Structure 1
Amino acid sequence: MKHLSIALFLLFSQLAAPAQDRKLDSINRLITTVKSDTAKVNRLLDKIGILSTSNLDSALALSLSTIQFSRKISYTAGEGRARMLSANYYSYKGDFEAAKNNLQLSEKIFSDQENQQQLLKVYNAYGTMYGMQSKYDSSLSFLKKALSIAEAEKQGNMLSTIYMNIGISYQMLSDQPQALAYQQKALRIAEAEKDVTQQAYCLVNIANTLRNIGDVKRAEQSFGKAVSLARQADIKNVELYAYTNLAALFTDQKTEQKAYDYAMKAAALARQMGDTGIEATSLSRAATNLARQKKYVDAEKLARQAIGIADRSQQPLNIHQTYSAMGVILRMQEKYAAAIPYFEQSFEALKDADIYDAQTGEMYAELALCYEKSGNYRRALAAQKVAASIADSVRGKENVRKTTELSMTYAFEKQQQAQQVEQERKNTLAKTQMATLSTGIILMFALASMSFYAYRTKQKANNLLEVQKTALQETLEKLRTTQTQLIHAEKMASLGELTAGIAHEIQNPLNFVNNFSEVSMELAEEMQQELESGSVDEARAIATDIRDNLQRIMQHGKRADGIVKGMLEHSRSSTGTAQPTDIPALIEEYLKLALHAFRAREQDFQPEIHIGQDHNTGLVNAFPQDLGRVLLNLLNNAFYAVNQKQKAGPDGYQPVISIHTRRDEKFVEISVQDNGTGISGQSVQKIFQPFYTTKPTGQGTGLGLSISYDIITKGHGGTLEVSSMPGEGSTFVIRLPA
């Protein structure tokens, strides 16, 4: 069994220092001698950093008491730093909800203070938190935000830390070249600054990458050097991660006793430090190596102990490792049926994680063998196909991620183009006003001179008026052309937003089509063999399975076809002909696409969605693609409003979007309601005017609601109304003729 590498995320750069006890004695003396409460908080924060390398429980306890003391003396900067530290320790303990709450409060404090130096540490801490949950795409997003601030603010002391954490995320996504490039950048900075502590962190993660690419000798050397530097700087957590990964390395090399010794050494140190996740992983590695020595009773006992600890840690990577280890131990004893639930539970732990590693493929192969030996050949075939296609799955995930990034870039470029066209329109209007003013002055001069130069001046005035008329007509034509271009740009920007949702939606049915097609080919071959051998009943049963598979292929193919047709409908101009339209189905389609597109930009966005459909709504004569654009625009605005309010951080706030339909004798009504930031009374009066937007510069063109208003009122003969309360939320109501 090949074990996953366990990466060590960094909170912030630490300077090399004397032994742990001397550091604590020194900081304790300083705490007793400081003369102000704020200085005391600063020294307590230093002490927390020292404790974090040796005892997570002590570091977390001191963080929480420092938060309370900072609040008592109204020292918000100290509270923000203490919350950021506590978030990291909560992450290591597996309490990610508490970690996220503290990070959000810390982010609000430093955003209000416009403290970029601390904000970049907050974003680095977000990256750590998502990394601990094995959500490496989200981790990378926050780490790159931290990197941009560090580079802009010239925070060289943080660059090494951020480079290292970015390298870890790429490592766990199996992009080893990118991982090594960032890790080497981090190590060069640490070596230039003679930072022994930072070098130790870098070396243990570089060793993991070397192990992943099969460079065992250099990996072992790098682990050894990391341990040496960790002992020199007295940082226990680096020593711990080196031991547990050395256990994995020697497990791969089938050096069972050496692997077992390192694993138990890591487990003991993790227990001492309070790191339950690594304790569980280390015990599972020790159990695997006992099983290889045919010490099955002791191996199972140790593996069950590891599972109990991993469940408490709530860390997906460690839970997956422990359950799959138990599955392997049972499989080695040919207890195939007993092993299956453990393998299945291990994959369940990874369902929301961004991990793509050869070890995952090996575990699917193990599961396939257990299914086969238990007589469940169909599941065996399915699991074996997953194992064989792990590499393709990694590439598929990368393609979707690139598609999402391209679509977001495309939408951004379209917004930039719309802003440029808007500026050109304003410039054209300004020139026209100046030309008109100049014309007025000339006309006044001409009128004053008419008494002296009657016929000649009148002729000149007429000629001048003709020229101005031509100029004004040309300007008006330019404005019309500009408006047409701007509306087209707005439409294409909305199409770009849809692309992220389309990429996500279409991937699922295509995967089903591919998988059922492959299984059907295998079944067809099996049926042919049964027919040749004369087993007609078996052949009929297989034919039934093939028919079921083909029905599923057709079902998912139609689903993919519908998604593509929907995007094409959105991209083409209106046909000019209304048609009976299923309003509830249209709402469901555009809600799904809008939500996927928004989550491509805001990965943590999780609103409550309430849908209330009147069963009597029925069909309505409408232009579905135009009405879909209106729904997309209203939903995007609602998502933006609740997301902005959530970022502001009110306690207990939960974003809620409500969509309701109802029908009476005259109208079909669609309402989109949110509990977001709301709109001021002055803005409500202008909300449907072209180019008016409540969003910050660069985030809105001001055309979305204007175009939506025209589509509903002019295109459908209906009404579009808004009601809003600042700070409470907004409601948009569409009424269409029934």
Structure 2
Amino acid sequence: MNRSLHPALLALVSLLWGSNWMACAQSPEIDSLKRQLIQQRADTNRVRRLNRLGHLYLDIKPDTSYRLAQQAYRLAQQLDDKPGQARGLNLMGSSLSNLGDYPKAIRFFQQSLQISRSIHDLPAISSVLNNMASPYQAQKDYKRVLSLSQEAQQVFDQVHRKDTQRDVRTYAILYCNLGETYLLLNQLDSADYYLKKATPLTEQEKGRIVLDHNLYLLGDLHLKRHDTTTALSYYRRALVAAQQSNSTVTLADIYLSIASLYQATGAIDSSIVNARRALAAGQQTNYLDGILSASKLMTKLYEGRNNTQALRYFKVAVAAKDSLFSQEKIKQLLTLGFEEQQRQQEQVALEASYQNRIRLYGLTGLVAVVLLVAGLLWRTNQRQRRSNQLLTRQKTELDQQRSKAEQALGELQTTQAQLIQKEKMASLGELTAGIAHEIQNPLNFVNNFSEISGELVQELKEEASAGRLEDVLAIADDLTMNLQKINHHGKRADSIVKGMLEHSRSSTGERQVTDLNALTNEYLKLAYHGLRAKDKDFNAQLVTNFDANLSPIELVPQDMGRVLLNLYNNAFYAVAERQKTAPEGYRPKVTVSTQRSQGKVEIRVKDNGTGIPESVKAKIFQPFFTTKPTGQGTGLGLSMSYDIITNGHGGSLEVETQTGDGTEMVVRLPA
């Protein structure tokens, strides 16, 4: 059974920032806030009211909640209201988590956490940590969920360690979340411990916010222990509590648990009834996780009994799964995980470097003191002997420090290699998006001509039965033409896949005779479609001027493909940035040309983007230097490209640019 933390998690957001979760079902407060916002000036009070209204919509209309939080965040940015920015980002993350967009939700949570830590807002930090567990739980990363929940509790304990009265509501939520996490990890004793700690708190007025959630988790716990009677009792109590609090998402989870219990005991009809109720509750609030789980169960229950209904619910499950786990979201999640791992490694390397500098400074001072003492004691034999002993001891320490410094250097070199690998993986990710779009065209042709051919075969049979030989021959000619087109487009798809495999394969460094025009044109289309897959609003005019008389040359196709991808991606980035501020009439344009000049082969990639300032032009081929904002570039793309062209192929890579007028990158290779 797949479960979501978010009913309790979202309760903590409202709780830690002075909100009342139970008000979500009360329209008078929503109406009151709407009236206040009509007359409210653009100040910090408006930011707070927008965030508050967004919280009230969170469990009933998460898309509306997201728009309100976005308005609050933008206004908080204009006012330099850091707490308002953090709350808006936190609420945007919670809304997107409800809507199933986990990569963007995690990014918003990370930004909110960064701002909250910069202003040392401990309640906000605890709230974000707790809410961030929801998208990770949906991805079944339960260890990360447990880590975040425990850290949230530790921060909250730090805030309230001096309180004379216990915060019933928040501790009920924290214990309930920890109990659920241990339940998902199948650590039943730990789950039992925290759920029982939460139970007396949820029975109090302030803790009833998670009463329904805690009850159905206790039902899940007893179901895992095969005590179906007790489990069903808890589920029924949870249904009453959820209906009283109008928690539609929790209702979907409870009905699904009851359906699973009846399925396990063989009561299939009862299981179908409750699974259908779970699906209806999930669809009411667009709860994708609940829709997916309920429709999968309905498919299994109807399989063999009513295959038409089974197919219907299977389609519902496929649609929900596509929304939750699209290829783009999976790629973003993988990128997020890699970036987080990379950040941690860089932090460790920086801390090691700092410690080494401290040791070096201390050692330098210590050596200076030793030398001074040795000079003072040099006049006597006894002091000379003591000085020599001291110097010997210091030499040993110096050797130890040098060994540690060499080890730190090795770690830094390892980090550099990982950064280079990250750049290669980013290049492969860009190429993959382009491949997905480019291969769709020949596949569409194959599918269309296959369907038409099937219809022609049926007509052929009818004409043959009627004895109309002339019509039979005409239809046979059409079939032959269709098969030729299917074969042509099938070979096109095959060439695209082979090109992808060639790019993803580790370079052997062996040169091959290559059609440079074809290679240049292929990667141009893949780079453009890759960017369009990420940003469907982006458009640019592509102009190609290829030398038709250009003979094939020897090069390493995989390496040259990485160079071209880097140059194309930089050109598209430049025109996209200029388009944001350019007047009407500006049209992004990228021109690619090949020619033979002065005994060399040239590839020119020209854009009409922002250009490169003269002050940084000399640095662009240096490793780790980038003109892109933090997080959008590693500074390794042009450095790697320069190395591949100059050292790997004996050519040259030059830049011709003027600020505001665009850039032209020129690759020259031996003919």
Task: Tell whether the 8 Å contact from 2:431 to 2:527 is kept in structure 1 after alignment.
Answer: no
Q: Does 1:242 align with 2:209?
A: no
Q: Does 1:157 align with 2:123?
A: yes
Distance 2:579 2:112 in 1: 22
Give the structure 2 partner of residue 300 of structure 1. 272
Q: Does 1:564 align with 2:504?
A: yes
Residue 122 (structure 1) shift = 2.8
Partner secondary structure for residue 608 of structure 1: coil
Query: Identity percentage over the alignment?
Result: 15
Q: Deviations over 1:574-613 (max 9, x none)?
A: 99999444433121233466789xxxxxxxx644243666
Give the structure 1 partner of residue 38 of structure 2. 68
Q: Does 1:213 align with 2:185?
A: yes
Distance 2:576 2:344 in 1: 23
Comparing 125-134 and 498-507, the one that deviates more: 498-507
Map 1:34-45; keep pairs closer than 5 Å: none
Distance 1:12 1:397 in 2: 27
Map 1:531-550; keep pairs closer than 5 Å: none
Distance 1:502 1:698, change over 3 A: closer
Letter in 2 for 1:116: K
| Equivalent residue in structure 2 for 1:280, among 252, 255, 261 | 252
Distance 1:701 1:128, change over 3 A: closer
Letter in 2 for 1:342: Y
Q: Does 1:502 align with 2:410?
A: no
Distance 1:490 1:173, change over 3 A: closer
Distance 1:252 1:645 in 2: 57
Give the structure 2 partner of residue 342 of structure 1. 313
Partner secondary structure for residue 283 of structure 1: helix
Distance 1:214 1:292, change over 3 A: closer
Distance 1:491 1:184 in 2: 34
Distance 2:50 2:631 in 1: 32
Give the structure 1 partner of residue 142 of structure 2. 176
Q: Does 1:146 align with 2:116?
A: no
Larger relative contact order (CA 8 Å, sep ≥ 6): 1
| Equivalent residue in structure 1 for 2:520, among 561, 569, 583 | 583
Distance 2:285 2:175 in 1: 26
Distance 2:321 2:79 in 1: 38
Q: Does 1:186 align with 2:152?
A: yes
Comparing 138-147 and 315-324, the one that deviates more: 138-147
Q: Does 1:351 align with 2:319?
A: no
Letter in 2 for 1:585: E
Task: Tell whether the 8 Å contact from 1:163 to 1:182 is kept in structure 2 after alignment.
Answer: yes
Structure 2: unaligned runs, 5 residues or longer: 161-165, 350-414, 436-490
Partner secondary structure for residue 125 of structure 1: helix
Distance 2:2 2:416 in 1: 50
Give the structure 2 partner of residue 4 of structure 1. 3
Task: Tell whether the 8 Å contact from 1:90 to 1:99 is kept in structure 2 after alignment.
Answer: yes
Q: Deviations over 1:158-206 (max 9, x none)?
A: 2322332344444444343443233233334445623222111111111
Partner secondary structure for residue 147 of structure 1: helix
Map 1:421-570; keep pairs closer than 5 Å: 496-502=422-428, 558-559=498-499, 561-564=501-504, 568=507
Distance 1:173 1:118 in 2: 29
Task: Tell whether the 8 Å contact from 1:303 to 1:322 is kept in structure 2 after alignment.
Answer: yes
Instruction: Calculate the TM-score normalised by the size of structure 1.
Output: 0.55
Distance 1:636 1:410, change over 3 A: farther
| Equivalent residue in structure 2 for 1:55, among 11, 15, 25 | 25
Distance 2:292 2:47 in 1: 34
| Equivalent residue in structure 2 for 1:635, among 548, 569, 582 | 569
Give the structure 2 partner of residue 228 of structure 1. 200
Distance 1:399 1:707 in 2: 23
Q: Does 1:80 align with 2:47?
A: yes
Distance 1:237 1:287 in 2: 24
Give the structure 2 partner of residue 608 of structure 1. 537
Q: Deviations over 1:271-324 (max 9, x none)?
A: 554443333333333344455566555543443343233223222211112212
Distance 1:704 1:68 in 2: 50
Distance 1:269 1:228 in 2: 15
Q: Deviations over 1:354-387 (max 9, x none)?
A: 69xxxxxxxxxxxxxxxxxxxxxxxxxxxxxxxx
Residue 50 (structure 1) shift = 2.0
Distance 1:507 1:580 in 2: 22
Residue 128 (structure 1) shift = 1.9
Letter in 2 for 1:78: N
Task: Tell whether the 8 Å contact from 1:266 to 1:282 is kept in structure 2 after alignment.
Answer: yes
Letter in 2 for 1:632: N
Distance 1:413 1:189 in 2: 23
Give the structure 1 partner of residue 360 of structure 2. none
Q: Deviations over 1:662-716 (max 9, x none)?
A: 999x999966577xxx68xxx878785656987669988999899999x9xx979
Distance 2:575 2:347 in 1: 19
Distance 1:341 1:4 in 2: 23
RMSD over equivalenced CA pairs, Å:
5.7
Distance 1:671 1:266, change over 3 A: farther
Residue 55 (structure 1) shift = 2.3
Partner secondary structure for residue 324 of structure 2: coil
Give the structure 1 partner of residue 74 of structure 2. 108
Distance 1:701 1:346 in 2: 39
Aligned residues: 519
Letter in 2 for 1:346: A
Distance 1:552 1:583 in 2: 17
Distance 1:229 1:251, change over 3 A: same
Instruction: Calculate the TM-score normalised by the size of structure 2.
Output: 0.59
Distance 1:563 1:661 in 2: 20
